[in-house]
Structure formats: structure tokens, C-alpha cells
Structure 1
């Protein structure tokens, strides 16, 4: 790697670890008491546009890394090729939402009265502004989403006519797509609105879509698993998660708090994961937020992404069937070793993280507080104790620690949500928060159409050969 690249990489990593870079960013995003989120963004965006423009002008030719053949064939793993501001994933610290760890978010973000977990409304405000919101600002977001939650009748009709065999994620994605009939951004674009105004219409669509997602998800859930019973009306006195839980048919206060936690921690995971990158790519073509988020949901539906928590629960269910609901550590160990003969242990390892996923840790803390004696939770705890050492002994696993998917399904099961096919829809409702907050900023900062260069296998081989000849001083034959 060139010296300039190494120096810049060390500088960036150091500043991220010490939070200096985050502190610099927060200076630009000074706190305000205004409760209207759009007005707050209207104040912040010109400042950030100026800061980014100056940085680009000064450093436009600065190299920031080296791409290897292994990275190209390895799914572009670790290639630095995106700007995505709402969250950053650090291999050693885990996810940071605008510089805040999950633990800090749990401590600092406003909570519902009587609740112990952060409100997703506050997390969205943080993602959109880099500011920890006041209780009044979070209450404003709640009211705004409640006021925008009505679902067009054509969407309801479509959902009610889907075959029961159609996967919940397919239904979810389709419903989001057809919501774009009322896209304010699409209409504004067709009316030749100036580029400087794009972000305002993306904001409006984003707020509308987030408001409607719980109702859409609840209709799907009720149609598939509750005999098509009505979801009821939005209660203006309830927060976003509480209304969602009620529409699903759950009134346990601890489940509601679990849902608040779930919707917060699954919201964003920097820009390189499939769902975030898909929304980033599709929206760069100026597709409206509905089309962009629908595309992201189709990526999230894959077994290597959002479907993973279902895979974990299936694996644990098979474990229970084979060795019982109260297995010993030795039985767990043997079951893991048997699994590794033909596959992997789902829920362990991560493409970036090199420690226990903080999203796993906060769910574990919730379980220790509210369901310490649940047998499935005890099995998850045994796996936490047994699996890392086994994977570490193999020597081929970079991260033997559990990720977020190792825990979430067990918690949902405890409170009665046993329909595993639906879990990814919950994930999708949450992930929309992160990708839409970033989408507002992508348009505000004028990010262009994404168009990376691809190579054929022959072309890549020829490029590598030419570089080797150049490095050794050999001249190509005429």
C-alpha cells in the first residue's frame, strides 16, 4: 500500500477509535431545541454540504487504499468504496450510530414512560442529525409517524389477496413497491424540482414510509398467522413500537420494550451490508425511497443476510430434538462438532466484527433480566460458552464469537412470536430507519450515480500480468 494510503488509513482508524473524528462531526451538527426534524435538517445540511465540498476539493486525488484480486473475487470484501455517514462498523468495537455505541444509545436516547429501552424514534433522529434528541423532539417524531400511518386502500387490497404460500418478505417488498404511487419525490422529479431540493422530498417519502411499515407488516402477520383479523387503528398516544406490537396482537409490556430494542439495534450496520448497499445503489439512480427500500428488502430476505436469525432458530430446534431441552455442555459440544463436519454453526462469526457482537450482548442482558430461566435462553448461553473455543481451536475462523442472529429468535419465541418466517420482516421494518436516514443525506450531498468498473476474468488476468511486467521492468512483446 502506498505510504500516503497507509498514513491516511492509520489516521482515520485512530480517530474513529478515539472518537475524535466523531467529535469533529458533532461540532458541525450543533444541538437545537427545535422539534421539527425537517427544520433541523434544513439548518444542518448547508453546513455539511460546505464541509464535504471543501474536503473533496482539497483531497480529491488522495488514495485511500489498495484493491487486491482476492478482494475482487471475494465479493468486494473490505474495499473502501462508499461514503455512508449514519453508522460505522468497527471490527473491535462493533457498530456505532453516528459515533454512539449501542450501550451509549441505551443510556442516552429517550425512553417511553415506564420503558427501559431506547425509542427507535430517537435513534432515527440521531441517525438523521448526529444529535441525541430531547424527549420533546422524540415525541414530535412519534406524532409525525402516527399522523402519516394510513395505508392506501389499493395496498391493503393487494395484501389481502396474496396467496398464503407467498413468503412474508415477498409480500413486504411488494407492498413497499406499490406505495410509490404516492411518492412525493417521484412527482417532484417529474416536475423538474431543482437538485438542491431533492433531499426535502426524499425526507417526506422517508417519513411517510417509516410511518406505514408497521401497519403493512402487521397486516401480513395477521393475514398469515391470525386468520386475517384486523390490525386496528393507530393510537396517537402510543409510540411507534407500541402501536406496532398492538397491531401484531401483543400487549405484554416486556415484549413491547423488546421490540423497541430490536427495532433500534437492527436499524443500521454501515453501508457495505447487502440491504444498505442495495438501497444506496438503487437510490443513486434517483429511484424514489419506496423502490430503493423495496430493493433493500429483497436483499435482506437472503439466507446470508436477514434470514440468518431464522436459520439459527431452526438449528437450535434440531439440537433440542436430538439432545433434549436441558443438554449438558458436553452434549452441546458434541452437537457443535457434528455440525462442523458438514456445515457451519449459524449465529457465530461476522464478516467484519472480531469480537462478540454488541447487538448480541444487549439482547443477552435483556434476557438475563426478563427470562433467565427460559430453557432456550440457557441453550444460547451454553453455546456462548462452548462454541467460541471450538471455533478458535479450528484455527480457520477469524471471529468465533456470536453475532446478533444468535439471540433474537429465542427472545421472540419466548414472548409467543414463534412464526420464524416473519422475523426478517421485523428486521426490515428496523433497517428502513438507517437506509432512509442515509438516503436523505445522499441526496442532500449530491452523491452521484454509482457506476463501479467491472472486469472480465481475461481482462483481470491481463491487467495483473501487465502490472507485474511493469514492476519488474519487463517490456511487453510487440
Structure 2
């Protein structure tokens, strides 16, 4: 392989680090589409060379237990945008959450001063590069402009839905209805060459990013308020979304920037990301692919978890008030053991992969310490954090006794009066679009294949185990 191409491939496989003084390396401004188009040839060549030279190498094994248990831990996906480490948590294109907070542009314009803009995470996940503020501002303007591409029939359709229909069901309906605007679907029907799929996929992806805040806000305003959605496109993506929801508080804007950024991606094996990738592998367009991902996210074992945590904390608070007990380490320890002895799960603790405190929990805790240190629910969460890992370690039946992202997010939202926790998963859905669809762009750019794993019957497994006792 040509050495210059090797260097090019490596340079775009890893994010640009900040200079030692905290500044960003100087480079000429370019649009997101131009940046991606310049990366595609070398990435395609690097992947082809990887497959040619190392395609037969074994990177893992599959046990019958893993097969029955939902393919847990099976290494069988290519995922560009993030990697989840059991010890240190998520890395977005190689950057930890604290590193993202340090180097990505913020609303103030200065990296490290406030939470990163969602537009900067979009740029990072798609390109693997830390963007400049000018590039982020250009992307903000582009997404605001693209928001006008929400088909005219979508909002009337949402307005016609029953108010008691679950917000996630409405979100899926709204995005599916917006699919009539798909550029990719039209290009495919017109016979565009396969090596150009990514260009039309990008058009759809950016349009989905642009229109889902209005879909989500319309649902929120319809179900809980007056149905009126007001925009403020002088703000960034997250700030404008807050105004559409009906919130006008700079501190809440910062929380939404943090919330949307940290929920964007968690490597490819989680249900919503994997579903988006799987459906996209059939060459369904990005609208249909992510609508499928939303349906996975709506499951109680995935995106509904943070509302379950909030309910548990509020039940704890109510129980202690009725019994005249103070909320402290001793009483919370007692309550935790009551929960565990009743064979119930302590929500918000444990993770399928992580074996330490989720960095997404930590950054939310730091936000709480800064913005709401005296909030009663925040104090309870902080006290739970001080005792729960020890309780769970003593219990001995939890692989990871530390808090995950869901342990905190609902409490932060509640502080600002965002009390409609049945809607919380929609916020998650607005965020997770960024990770799932950023990967879908590279699926099409690299020409990844239709996903089609091999399945086996229970009888086949029984025969295999009987005939291979030493396997």
C-alpha cells in the first residue's frame, strides 16, 4: 500500500489532538460535506487493504452461552465513531468525555468554557476531526436552513395523534412520515452508482438531524401544553431545541448541550445503534433506518431506564418522608438492602460492559455540583453514590456495582421543571440519531455489506455440544 495513503488513512482514523497550549491546530475552513468527501477514498482503500491482508485472522470466539444470551460480547461489528472500554468508558473518535469538554467548541466560543455544542460532536463523529468554531457555526447555520425541509404533512399528522399515545410512538411515526423527503431513496430509485450512495445518505442524515427537534418539540407541546412551537435560530442546535420545547433558561440550555452530547453514541452493539445499522444495511434510507432505531430505543431495557431511576429515587424520598426518616447514608443503605432482598434491581447501577463508574454519570454529577448543589433530589443521588457501590459489592451478584448514565439524567431534568419523564426517552432519541446516523454515513461510504449472521436451532446446538465435548 502506498505510504502516503497509509498516512492519510491513519490521519483520518484518529482525531486531531489540541496543541499543548490548548489551542487547535490551524487549518483552512471547509464544509462538513467537503471534509467527508476528501476522506472517503483513503478510508475505502485502507479498509480494502485490511480485508485483503488480514481478513482471515480470528479476533474472537462465540460460546453457546453468548449465542443464547443475545450475542453479548461477540466481536462482529465494524464501528467507526466510538469505542466503549470496560474501564474508562466511552471514547468519541478516541476522545474521552472530559477531553471532549476540554477541546470542543462551546456556545461561548471558547473550548472548555461550558458544555460542547452538539454540532461539534456531529463534526467529530463524522470526520474524526476536532472542528473549529467557524466550522461549527457553519454547521449550525446549515442545520437551521435544512430544518425547513420538514415535509408539510408531518406536523398536522402529529397534531392528529391521540395525546395519550406514548411520545416515543409518536416520534417514530413522525420520522417515518418525514421519509417522503428522502434524497437517498430517490437517488437509489434513479440508479445512482453504489460508490456515490454516501453523498445522498449524507443529505438525508443532515436533514434528519435538522428536522427531528421540531418533530420532538411538537410532540412535547401537544401532549403536555398548548401545541405551540417557537423557534430561535439565533441560537445553536441545543438552545433552539430548548426554545421549541418552551424553556428559556441559559442554565437549562447548558444541561441540554451536555445531555445531547453524552447520549449520542455508545459504540455499535447497543440496541438502537445496532438496529439503525442493521436496517441501513438493507439500503433502507436514513429516515427509515433511524426510525427503526427509535423503536429499539423505546424498549424498557434500553432508553426508558432513566425514568425508572427517577421513579425509584422519588419512591425512596416519599417512603422516608412518611416514616419520618432522614435521608442519609444509613437510611439509604437500609433501603438498598430492602430492595435487593426483595429480589429487585437497584435501577441506575450496573452496565453490560462498563466495570467502573460511567463517565457519563460523572460529568452529570459535576454539572449538578456546579448548578444545583442544594437540590433535594440531587443530594439523594449524591448520597446514593457514596454508599451503593459498597452495598452492591457486599451483595456480590452485580458485575458492575457503579452508577451508569441513567442514574443521574432524570434528576437533572426534574430540577429545571422538566417533570414529564415519559418523554425523557425522546430527548435520548434526538441525541442518539447523531451516533447511529454518523456511522450509517460510513456504512454507505465504505460499501459495507448486508448484515446476515448465521443462526442455529436448539437441536443443532445440542448435537454440536454432544459431538464436541472439548470445544
TM-score by length of 2: 0.92
Q: 1:22 to 1:104 in 2, by over 3 A?
A: farther
1:373 aligned counterpart, secondary structure:
coil
Q: What is the rounded CA distance, in whole Å, between the counterparts of 2:295 and 2:70 in structure 1?
A: 18
Number of the residue aligned with 2:73:
78
From 12, 35, 42, give the equivalent of 2:37: 42
Number of the residue aligned with 1:336:
336
Number of the residue aligned with 2:468:
467
Q: 1:191 to 1:23 in 2, by over 3 A?
A: closer
Partner deviation per Cα, 1:100-155 (whole Å, 9 max, x = no partner): 00000000000012761000100010000000000011001100100011232210
Q: Which moved more, 1:324-333 or 1:391-400?
A: 324-333
Contact (CA 8 Å) 1:87, 1:95: kept in 2 or not? yes
Deviation at 1:23, TM superposition (A): 7.2
Q: 1:264 to 1:127 in 2, by over 3 A?
A: same
After TM superposition, the runs of 4+ consecutive aligned structure 1 residues lying more than 6 A away are: 21-24, 27-31
Alignment: residue pair count: 448
2:84 aligned counterpart, secondary structure:
strand
Number of the residue aligned with 1:26:
14
Partner deviation per Cα, 1:284-323 (whole Å, 9 max, x = no partner): 0000001110000011011111100000001111111101
Aligned ranges for residues 220-231 of structure 1 at < 5 Å? 220-228=219-227, 230-231=228-229
2:262 counterpart of 1:265: yes
Number of the residue aligned with 1:277:
274
Partner deviation per Cα, 1:348-369 (whole Å, 9 max, x = no partner): 0000000000000000000000
The unaligned stretches of length 5 or more in structure 1 are 1-20, 472-478
Number of the residue aligned with 2:152:
153
Deviation at 1:28, TM superposition (A): 10
2:67 counterpart of 1:69: no
Q: 1:179 to 1:130 in 2, by over 3 A?
A: same
Number of the residue aligned with 1:91:
86
- The alignment yields a C-alpha RMSD, in angstroms, of 1.8
Q: What is the rounded CA distance, in whole Å, between the counterparts of 1:388 and 1:236 in structure 2?
A: 44
Q: What is the rounded CA distance, in whole Å, between the counterparts of 1:56 and 1:86 in structure 2?
A: 19
2:90 aligned counterpart, secondary structure:
strand
Q: What is the rounded CA distance, in whole Å, between the counterparts of 1:286 and 1:400 in structure 2?
A: 40
Number of the residue aligned with 2:367:
366
Deviation at 1:467, TM superposition (A): 2.4
Deviation at 1:465, TM superposition (A): 2.1
The unaligned stretches of length 5 or more in structure 2 are 1-8, 18-24
Contact (CA 8 Å) 1:355, 1:399: kept in 2 or not? yes
